[in-house]
Structure 1
Amino acid sequence: MKGYLRKFQFVGLMLGVMLGIRVNGTSQVPCLFAFGDSLSDNGNNNRLPTLARANYLPYGIDFPGGPTGRFSNGKNFVDFMAELLGFGHYIPPYSEAKGEEMLSGLNYASGSAGIREESGQQLGERITFGRQVQNHKKVVSLVVDLIGGEEAAANHLKKCIYSITIGSNDYINNYFMPDAYPTSRLYTPEQYADGLIDLYGQQLNLLYNYGARKFLLSGLGTTGCAPNALARASPDGKTCVRSFNSVIGVFNDKLKSLIDRLNNHFSHAKFVYGNTYDIFQDLLNNSSAYGFKVTKEACCGGGRNHGAMMCMPGERSCPNRNEFVFWDSYHPTEATIRIVAQRLYRSRSPSDIYPIDISTLAQL
């Protein structure tokens, strides 16, 4: 058995060298897997027939190498989380990953994807949450082959962090679009959230079965304060749309309850809730303390143009991007994302993340 372990440690070291992973204790976890929507997508939608694509300028204007498919002017949430966890590289998109590269994690996220299969379909093709989980199942089989057996693979995967940011499109591109989707007529906010949480829980159970043990589940942000929502439904174009935010709050409350149930049920796993809603609310209410000057408009596209959702190809963006909370009509700027990631990694307030922060989760 000792000989087997020494052999496995040597193989792990060599794979780390090949991958450029920091193997001398700098990287706090061996891998980071990300699931979700455009807040995490870093290129999976680039080759899909969809309007939800960001592989053109001005997207990526502040990212090394330019546009990559990130729905940001620069880095996205997964990039910052990888940096905070000590990775020496960004987590690659599933659509481009090859061989041993997947051992340090993959990003499965897809712009316009939701928990429900139909969410976002009016924008074109997307990789739904369920399909992302199935893609991960395929990767787990490859990890077993690469590492050399199910036991070794399980030991590797249980140390990884699984970041999930999903659900916004089930509202923005479903429930809040009554002309395109019937859901708001068929379900009350409570019923709709219950259905989403049930589907969400099913996928989390599958991920657990595939070896996941450390979960970050990010709640939904203040959708009613986004430039698109202000343009569509705010009475004065400045006041957050309370009806949107209250519906989002129902989902977030049920997600927290789901996390409590999962932590009670799975003794060998840990689920944490990232309270992005309250963090965004703090950024908006105390914007000047964070260096932001513009909170109601987008730096490009959407909010500056009557609520269109995306920046147009080649469109000129604002020069003072670090002073804007929102990059386009729905997505935050790199400056905003950095703050959110930092507060989830090491909480500033007990309400930032529950029950422990990511720096603590990484050490478990």
Structure 2
Amino acid sequence: MITISQFKSLIILLLMVSLELKGSHGAAQVPCLFIFGDSLSDSGNNNPLLSWAKCNYLPYGIDFPGGATGRFCNGRTTIDLVGDHLGLPNYIQPYANKTNKLYHEGVNYASGSAGIKKETGLQVGQRICMDVQLQRHKEIIAKINKDMGAKATGHLKQCIYNIYVGSNDWMLNFFSGGSVIYLLNPISFGNSLIKDLTKQITTLYGMGARKVVVFGLGPLGCLPPITPLGICSPFANAVIEVWNNSLKTMVKQFNAKYKDARFIWINSVKIITPDLKGLGLRVRTNSCCMVVGASCVPLSIPCPNRKDHAYWDFAHPTEAANKVLAARAYKNQVATDTYPMDISALAALKL
């Protein structure tokens, strides 16, 4: 039989775990967070879709307090963890959650297998591309304007808008030959992506976004399917390095054009490093869960040492890896982690 003392200790332990999982970094630093992207940020938008890119089953979510919610991870995604650093009181709800009453705090529009281009991810079925994510954001902005009236503009310009997209455009289009016209010319393909993304971010600015975070991609040449012998692809990583530099240039141009806003770039490759050693994790070349295709086998038993693994399945990092990227994106360890500032400084800006 449990004693009163033991019961009190259990309650204290549960409270400590809750604080660790739900953002223990003090008061909220921004009023809301809007999330755009792909499976690296998806929190359940693909659950109702006819798609192979779904993960609302165990062992996905085995370390997340809500279980298998539709996050392509064992636990929290990078943007979940950034939200924790920002002190947000709740995890940002997916647009697919039709009962969401917290849209004033932000909405997650990200979709597994989606990309900058509309055709990206066609191989896996339904997905929500960036253009459609922006259309959905327009609907939410209309609701907020209706609810808040004259206060809406001030509310929205202090929010953070997070964009973490492009990996599927490269992996499912360029490297797999999905877009044959660009197959032999990564520069042309990258320029086409930048042109589309520039239009999309301009549209976002037109809807009131003034604090925008653009994540660069990690070393896609180190994904487990590409590294059976533990050796990353120098070609793939070199292509992504050029892409990331293009994103930084795009951010510079936005800051020069829109003086009433601030756009920042997260140098993911610099933080993670091209050989993944920057993560400080022991196991960097194979997945933690049993995989078929690129996803975890439903109800399979994952590795017990998840905190040592860089990759959860064949395409997505573990929570342990996400913690490294999120921490240094929020508060840069060295100046080259972010440009021209980190997320904590962006949050503190009064625009």
TM-score under structure 1 normalisation?
0.86
What's the secondary structure of 1:126's corresponding residue?
Answer: coil
Structure 1 runs of 4+ with >3 Å offset: 97-100
Sequence identity, in percent? Answer: 42
Q: Give the distance between the partners of 2:274 and 2:114, measured in 1 at CA.
A: 27
2:226 is aligned to: 229
1:10 is aligned to: none
1:272 is aligned to: 264
1:246 is aligned to: 238
2:210 is aligned to: 213
Q: Judge conservation of contact 2:271–2:278 (CA < 8 Å) in 1.
A: no
1:199 is aligned to: 196
What's the secondary structure of 2:284's corresponding residue?
Answer: strand
Q: Give the distance between the partners of 2:187 and 2:119, measured in 1 at CA.
A: 19
2:335 is aligned to: 350
1:18 is aligned to: none
Q: Give the distance between the partners of 2:100 and 2:194, measured in 1 at CA.
A: 34
Q: What is the 5 A alignment of 1:4-43?
A: 26-43=27-44
Q: What is the 5 A alignment of 1:134-149?
A: 134-148=135-149
Q: Which amino acid aligns with 1:193?
A: G
Q: Which amino acid aligns with 1:182?
A: V
Q: Give the distance between the partners of 2:142 and 2:325, measured in 1 at CA.
A: 33
Q: Which amino acid aligns with 1:226?
A: L
Q: Give the distance between the partners of 2:59 and 2:133, measured in 1 at CA.
A: 27
1:169 is aligned to: 168
Deviation, structure 1 residue 184: 3.6
1:262 matched to 2:247: no
Alignment CA distance shift 1:156-1:219 (3 Å): same
1:359 is aligned to: 344
Alignment CA distance shift 1:207-1:69 (3 Å): same
What's the secondary structure of 2:336's corresponding residue?
Answer: coil
Deviation, structure 1 residue 301: 3.4
Deviation, structure 1 residue 99: 6.0
Q: Judge conservation of contact 2:30–2:159 (CA < 8 Å) in 1.
A: yes
2:277 is aligned to: 285
Q: Give the distance between the partners of 2:166 and 2:269, measured in 1 at CA.
A: 13
Q: Judge conservation of contact 1:219–1:276 (CA < 8 Å) in 2.
A: yes
What's the secondary structure of 2:36's corresponding residue?
Answer: strand
Q: Judge conservation of contact 1:50–1:125 (CA < 8 Å) in 2.
A: yes
Q: Give the distance between the partners of 1:219 and 1:49, measured in 2 at CA.
A: 29
Q: What is the 5 A alignment of 1:299-310?
A: 299-302=288-291, 308-310=293-295
Q: Give the distance between the partners of 1:336 and 1:328, measured in 2 at CA.
A: 12
Q: Give the distance between the partners of 2:95 and 2:174, measured in 1 at CA.
A: 28
Q: Which amino acid aligns with 1:191?
A: S
- Coordinate RMSD, CA, aligned: 1.7
Alignment CA distance shift 1:154-1:314 (3 Å): same
What's the secondary structure of 1:83's corresponding residue?
Answer: helix
Q: Give the distance between the partners of 2:50 and 2:179, measured in 1 at CA.
A: 21
Deviation, structure 1 residue 181: 3.7
Alignment CA distance shift 1:356-1:283 (3 Å): farther
Q: Judge conservation of contact 1:114–1:166 (CA < 8 Å) in 2.
A: yes
What's the secondary structure of 1:95's corresponding residue?
Answer: coil
Q: Which amino acid aligns with 2:310?
A: V
Deviation, structure 1 residue 230: 1.7
Q: Which amino acid aligns with 1:325?
A: A
1:182 is aligned to: 180
Q: Which amino acid aligns with 1:216?
A: V
Q: Give the distance between the partners of 1:174 and 1:312, measured in 2 at CA.
A: 25
Q: Which amino acid aligns with 2:165?
A: I
Q: Give the distance between the partners of 2:62 and 2:189, measured in 1 at CA.
A: 38
Q: Judge conservation of contact 1:39–1:111 (CA < 8 Å) in 2.
A: yes
Alignment CA distance shift 1:298-1:183 (3 Å): farther
TM-score under structure 2 normalisation?
0.89
Alignment CA distance shift 1:193-1:286 (3 Å): closer
Q: Give the distance between the partners of 2:257 and 2:101, measured in 1 at CA.
A: 33
Q: Which of the numbers 305, 311, 325 marks the counterpart of 1:340?
A: 325
Deviation, structure 1 residue 286: 4.8
Q: Which amino acid aligns with 1:270?
A: R
Gaps of 5+ in 1: 1-20, 232-236
